[in-house]
Amino acid sequence: MRFGAITDIGMRRKINEDSYCIHNEEVFPYAVVADGMGGHQAGEIASKMAVDIIEDYLNKNLNEALDYVEVGEVVRQSFISANSIIYNYAKNHYKVMGMGTTATLAMIYQNKIITANVGDSRAYKIDKNGIQQLTRDHSYVQELVLRGEISPEMAKHHPKKNYITRAMGAEDIVKVDIAIKPYDGEVLVLCSDGLTNFVDDDEIRAHIEQKKALQESAEDLTALANSRGGSDNITIVAFGKGEINDEQ
């Protein structure tokens, strides 16, 4: 399994409110990316809590006897657990009231890709045929796109593109999107919107495809986002079993 990961404060923020984890284990390889919000370090706390709680829950509840549908349910419950703990923590600590975070996970298990997400941090799969977004953004502009009110191209430049409609810790109950799709050696990329606000999907694919090391790809993509303004924190995790092309 190849991995590459980076988190960067960007060019304008004073703190990094993104968090991530990598679980590089043979049976259950996965990664989580979270993008916190709330100000005054509250977002930093929320994203770190989400990643740590999800990881701890999975470490305690995953086992090889589970089939991929059961694993998907364990993943969903890990998000439910994290949401509840973050919500109650914020409710009982006035300095971080209102904090929340996105959370996106991708896991490879039994030749399946299992994804879970809340918010607008994304998971992609990339192979020789192109790039495909595996998660759906929980955002105001994505709702406009689904209703046919604006085009996907217009959504990229909409003034409210950063308004999310779902977050971990915002309410006592959260709906988690779970998807299970076939896995055939693709590279999976998870990222916060600090990347996707500045770098198009085809550019993400090109950088993953051009480099032999996923770490180098992640670093180059971060530099590209920063060169275009870097107004947000940037987090990227890339991993996979296979190669994108024959040159790697």
Give tens-digit pLDDT for 35-58: 999 876 799 999 999 999 999 999
The pLDDT value given to residue 2 = 94
- Helix (H) or strand (E) run with residue 144 in it: helix 140-146
| Residue 137 pLDDT greater than 80, yes or no | yes
| Residue 126 pLDDT greater than 50, yes or no | yes
pLDDT band of residue 246 (cuts 50, 70, 90) is very low
pLDDT digits (tens, 9 = 90+) for 163-182: 899 999 999 999 999 999 99
Handedness of CA 113, 164, 208, 15 (dihedral sign): negative
The pLDDT value given to residue 241 = 87
3-state secondary structure (DSSP) of residue 198: coil
The pLDDT value given to residue 240 = 95
Q: How far apart are the first and last CA of the chain?
A: 14
pTM of the model: 0.94
Task: Give the C-alpha separation, 124 to 131, whole Å.
Answer: 7
pLDDT digits (tens, 9 = 90+) for 97-110: 999 999 999 999 99
Q: Which class for 89: exposed (0-12), middle (13-18), buried (19 or more C-beta within 10 A)?
A: middle
Q: Which class for 41: exposed (0-12), middle (13-18), buried (19 or more C-beta within 10 A)?
A: middle
On average, the pLDDT of the chain sits at 93
